Structure 1
């Protein structure tokens, strides 16, 4: 057989990292603290189970392509340090963000003012503008994906989790049509599937800004369908008035400019950086009020409410399952049918508008997100797939062949 036709064998080499405690967990991956054996430097390793990701390798390949393109280019973007694979797992090694999530940091502060929110949005916008200048749309901006590099007060805020990001070829421009993201932060055009691009990140920033100023999201509703309808109609308001009395008119105008239904009229990242809310040294009005008590009260109240709603939904699902089992035994049609599906796992309401996949792997639901910070989301060892557990022999070697990591020629 000709040597050129022989299959290239993987290059085997000793592992250069040791993994430590689990920092967070998602449907297909866990995030672990790791240390480089030679340098002693600490990083975060996103450990992705190959078996669970079978058929979705393009998502990992895409995340790597995005991170390689922007890593080290902006102080507010998480840096990809290394990537490799073992027999069972894929590893993405990134900066170790020890400062925790955005909202957790806010809640630990003794005080919090509108100018603080403006500083956070300015840093995020700067990174988003950099991404957009390099043809990248993030598509999953939300507070959980904004992390602090260190616990220090002046630590950099980092945009993380590029699993849903896309590189858009400006020379052969195409719009994106896949439903993705976290429902409460998704722009109308994503639900409509009419094509979307960079403006979806500005919509998400509008939702984040609203949240950072009051403690709840603008389209918060009792069901996914009601939330989607509110987003499609931009049905939100700055109420109750007492919660917004300490917020400036500039901040409200900034939110309105971001939450514009027509994406062609929505503010761009560079325009947003020039907006008075972000560019001003101090808010023009309402600057002196400490927003923290209101934000914490609203956040905790809605968390309690949604926990109660989730409990009721779980009880109803159990009842429906019981009815279905009873119906199956008596050969009667099942009751309590689930929402229609298009065969690909995408739910649809009666209007035919997609509500998002039940479990896309990188989170259209909160419990699928990988949280990088000390959190109770870290699973017990017994619940972690065997291939992810410390000491597994399959993780002793690294296969550094191309395979998964090589993007298909057609996508270059």
Structure 2
């Protein structure tokens, strides 16, 4: 409708597309005529009450008289319109085309209105007779969040769950060293299993494989990532260099009492070192267990003499191979680096099988070990006697296993004498259950090492008066490296009678 103006002080609404009311003489006279199929408001005298206004339908050419309508007729007309517009609830079968035709009370023609179930409001398209199909009719219920029929209901639900629950994190892409991932080359693939142990830059996990014959193989893998999130680039680079150095020595070693390195897989993400899986802990664990059971063993904190001899000889066999066959010094011999395999037969009664590991500090022997001189190092740590010795952080290896020469020179030592000293420390500990050079204060520990001050009486008591073991330990813990035992001298000790193994070449694993 358009507002055309006033007539005798009243308001006259002129609709579009009107037909003029013709006078008997056929001429157009007066205001535009009331149109068909439309609602109009007739003119009223000034001050006429609103109740005299009404709406109705008129046939073509029939004018409306204001006096012909009252308030009751207006109310009936409105109720009639609302009744015809109301769509009663109905059940829509799945996949059925739905048509809704609403007949306007002011029109003699039908108006078709498609109703969308996806919208919270019903949309009416006048003048359209095209039926509306229920979106997503292939499913029992349509999701308002779905924008494509290719999205599965499960995916839509999980997506909405993630959006509505910020605490629920989406699935993370697995990393190459996660459990269940594969490593290896074509024809030799391994599936990564559970974690065995971990350190600052690396982790050791189980790996599983099946041979061509159908046999299951379980080994271990040492994983060192190329980049660790909480480490700076310099530390990551140093860790990679240390691993490369360890592998450069380790790959040449093959002995029954040395943990074997089978393969190395270098990727952009990490370096994977495939090795034998050890089940049984370390020699440190064996000694600790013996100490805990001291009351049941009559107060003996160390291992039984037979078992102590067995493990000591196996370690000596590994060191002899390193020193004499491949000319390598380990430089970090200690209880924690001696693995004990308890899967061998009769391990609980006769002991396990020892394998030496961790070659991160190992190196080949050189005629020139480097350094400027053999003068004592001055690091500012005053010992209990007033002498200055290196701080514990500057010691290569572990302080309790360090030799006097290793604490006093200003260079790295590439010699076997340090390994023999550490070997003597291990023999003493296996027999007594205590380290020979141990004090709550590191400065006193350094003093005891420099003076080679260890308890001969405790060793004699633990070894049941065996002088052979005392002579062996004394030869290994000799301050003067010129008269200190070599590993060959140690293996010839009579203390090992009855515990010797046949010397064999490299064993094929």
TM bucket, shorter chain: 0.5 to 0.7
Q: Give the deviation of 1:240 after TM superposition.
A: 5.0
Partner of 1:119: 310
Cα distance change, pair 246–17 in 1 and its aligned pair in 2 (3 A): same
Q: Give the deviation of 1:116 after TM superposition.
A: 1.9
CA contact (8 A) 2:334 2:426 kept: yes
Query: Computing the radius of gyration over CA atoms, which structure comes out larger, 1 or 2?
Result: 2
Partner of 2:330: 138
Instruction: State yes or no: 1:62 paired with 2:245.
Output: yes
Segment drifting more, 186-195 vs 224-233 = 186-195
Q: Give the deviation of 1:129 after TM superposition.
A: 0.4
Where 2:456 maps in the other structure, the secondary structure is: coil
Cα distance change, pair 99–240 in 1 and its aligned pair in 2 (3 A): closer
Deviation per CA, 1:32-57: give whole Å up to 9, x if none. Answer: 11123666411111111323532343
Deviation per CA, 1:40-85: give whole Å up to 9, x if none. Answer: 41111111132353234332122112211112xx211110011122
Structure 2: 5+ residue stretches without partners = 1-183, 229-235, 298-302, 375-393, 500-509
Where 2:475 maps in the other structure, the secondary structure is: helix
CA contact (8 A) 1:75 1:156 kept: no
Choose which of 173, 177, 184 in structure 1 pairs with 2:400: 184
Choose which of 343, 363, 368 in structure 2 pairs with 1:151: 343
Choose which of 360, 372, 375 in structure 2 pairs with 1:163: 360
Where 1:64 maps in the other structure, the secondary structure is: helix
Where 1:225 maps in the other structure, the secondary structure is: helix
Q: Aligned partners of 1:113, 1:155: CA distance in 2, in Å?
A: 14
1:92-103 alignment, distance < 5 Å: 92-103=273-284
Instruction: State yes or no: 1:271 paired with 2:497.
Output: no
Cα distance change, pair 70–13 in 1 and its aligned pair in 2 (3 A): closer
Deviation per CA, 1:287-319: give whole Å up to 9, x if none. Answer: xxxxxxxxxxxxxxxxxxxxxxxxxxxxxxxxx
TM-score, normalised via structure 1 length:
0.59
Q: Output the aligned Cα RMSD.
A: 2.9
Segment drifting more, 253-262 vs 21-30 = 21-30
Where 1:69 maps in the other structure, the secondary structure is: coil
Partner of 1:259: 477
Runs of 4+ deviating beyond 6 Å:
12-15, 108-111
Partner of 1:281: 498
Q: Aligned partners of 1:35, 1:43: CA distance in 2, in Å?
A: 6
Q: Aligned partners of 1:90, 1:147: CA distance in 2, in Å?
A: 22
TM-score, normalised via structure 2 length:
0.48
CA contact (8 A) 2:219 2:274 kept: yes
Instruction: State yes or no: 1:20 paired with 2:193.
Output: yes
Cα distance change, pair 224–155 in 1 and its aligned pair in 2 (3 A): same
Cα distance change, pair 98–30 in 1 and its aligned pair in 2 (3 A): same
Q: Give the deviation of 1:225 after TM superposition.
A: 2.0
Partner of 1:41: 217
Instruction: State yes or no: 1:237 paired with 2:455.
Output: yes
Cα distance change, pair 199–175 in 1 and its aligned pair in 2 (3 A): farther
Q: Aligned partners of 2:274, 2:226: CA distance in 1, in Å?
A: 16
CA contact (8 A) 2:330 2:363 kept: yes
Q: Relative contact order, CA 8 A, sep 6+: which one is greater? A: 1
Partner of 2:168: none
Deviation per CA, 1:257-314: give whole Å up to 9, x if none. Answer: 1111112211001111101222x238xxxxxxxxxxxxxxxxxxxxxxxxxxxxxxxx
Where 1:97 maps in the other structure, the secondary structure is: coil
Cα distance change, pair 241–165 in 1 and its aligned pair in 2 (3 A): closer
Cα distance change, pair 212–240 in 1 and its aligned pair in 2 (3 A): closer
Q: Give the deviation of 1:226 after TM superposition.
A: 1.7
